[in-house]
Amino acid sequence: MLLVDFQKQLDHFSLEMQFELDREILALVGSSGSGKTTLLNCLAGIVHPDVGTISLNGQEFFSGGQKPLKIQKRKVGYLFQDYALFPHLSVEQNILYALSRGTDVSHITELTKILGITGLLGKYPHQISGGEKQRVALTRAMAVQPDILLLDEPFSALDDANRDRCQDELLRIHEKWQIPIIFVTHRIADAEKLADRILRIEKGQMTEQTVY
Amino acid sequence: MMPYDLSPLWLSLRVAVISTFFVFLVSLALARLMNRRDFFGKSFVEALILLPLVLPPTVIGFGLIVLFGVNGPLGILLEQWFGFRVVFTWIGAAIASFVVSLPLMYQSVLAAYEKVDPRWENVARTMGVSEWRIFRTITFPLAWSGILAGLILAFARGIGEFGATLMIAGYIPGVTETVPLAIYFAYEAGDMEKALFWVVIISSLGVAAITWVNYWRKKTAIRIGRE
> pLDDT tens-digit profile of A21-49?
999 999 999 888 889 999 999 999 999 99
Q: How far is CA B58 from CA B48, B64, B70, B96, B162, in A?
A: 17, 10, 18, 11, 10
Rounded mean pLDDT of chain B?
Answer: 90
Confidence of residue B222 (pLDDT cuts 50, 70, 90): low
pLDDT at B15 over 90: yes
Residues of B engaging A, defined by a Cβ cutoff of 8 Å: 117, 119-120, 122-130, 137-138, 141-142, 224-227
Contact A73 B119 (CB under 8 A): no
Secondary structure (3-state) at B156: helix
Q: What is the pLDDT of residue A167?
A: 87
Confidence of residue B227 (pLDDT cuts 50, 70, 90): very low
Contact B226 A126 (CB under 8 A): yes
Closest CA to A177 of A140, A148, A137: A148
CA distance B132 to chain A (A): 12
Asked if A154 has any chain B CB less than 8 Å from its own CB, the reply is no
Q: What is the pLDDT of residue A116?
A: 83
Which residue of chain A comes nearest to B118, CA vs CA? Answer: A84
φ/ψ (deg, to 5) at B170: 70, -175
Q: What is the pLDDT of residue A154?
A: 87
Contact A88 B123 (CB under 8 A): no
Q: What is the pLDDT of residue A54?
A: 95
pLDDT per position as a tens digit, B122-134: 999 999 999 999 9
Phi and psi based region of residue A203 (left: phi greater than 0; alpha: psi -120 to 50; beta: remaining): left
User: Please, is B52 exposed, middle or buried when counting C-beta atoms within 10 Å of its C-beta (0-12, 13-18, 19+)?
Assistant: buried
Residues of B in contact with A91 (CB under 8 A): none
Asked if A88 has any chain B CB less than 8 Å from its own CB, the reply is yes
Asked if A196 has any chain B CB less than 8 Å from its own CB, the reply is no
CA distance B208 to chain A (A): 27
Confidence of residue A177 (pLDDT cuts 50, 70, 90): confident
Interface test with A, best of B125, B139, B223, B226 (most A CBs within 10 A): B125
pLDDT per position as a tens digit, B156-180: 899 989 999 999 999 998 889 999 9
User: Please, is A161 exposed, middle or buried when counting C-beta atoms within 10 Å of its C-beta (0-12, 13-18, 19+)?
Assistant: exposed
Secondary structure (3-state) at A15: strand
Statement: B7-224 belongs to CATH 3.30.930.10 = no
- The interface predicted TM-score (ipTM) is 0.90
φ/ψ (deg, to 5) at A65: 90, -20
Side-chain-side CA neighbours of residue B93 (13 Å): 30
Residues of B in contact with A124 (CB under 8 A): 225
Contact A88 B141 (CB under 8 A): yes
- Sorted by where each starts, the structural domains of chain A and their CATH numbers stand as 2-211 (3.40.50.300)
- Mean pLDDT over A120-126 rounds to 93
Q: What is the pLDDT of residue A8?
A: 93
Q: How does DSSP classify residue A47?
A: S
pLDDT per position as a tens digit, A69-116: 999 999 999 999 889 999 999 999 999 999 888 888 888 888 888 888
Distance CA B84, CA B90 (A): 11
Q: What is the pLDDT of residue B226?
A: 47
Sheet holding A197-202, edge to edge: A59-63, A51-56, A2-9, A14-21, A205-211, A197-202, A25-29, A181-184, A148-152, A76-79
CA distance A146 to chain B (A): 8
Residues of B in contact with A86 (CB under 8 A): 120, 123-124, 138, 142
Contact A78 B126 (CB under 8 A): yes
Residue among B123, B141, B226 minimizing CB distance to A78: B123
First to last CA, chain B: 54
Which residue of chain B comes nearest to A74, CA vs CA? Answer: B126
Q: What is the pLDDT of residue A105?
A: 85
Residues of A in contact with B120 (CB under 8 A): 84, 86
Q: How many A/B residue pairs have CB atoms within 8 Å?
A: 71
Distance CA A139, CA A83 (A): 11
First to last CA, chain A: 18
Residues of A in contact with B142 (CB under 8 A): 86-88
Q: Where are the domains of chain B?
A: 7-224
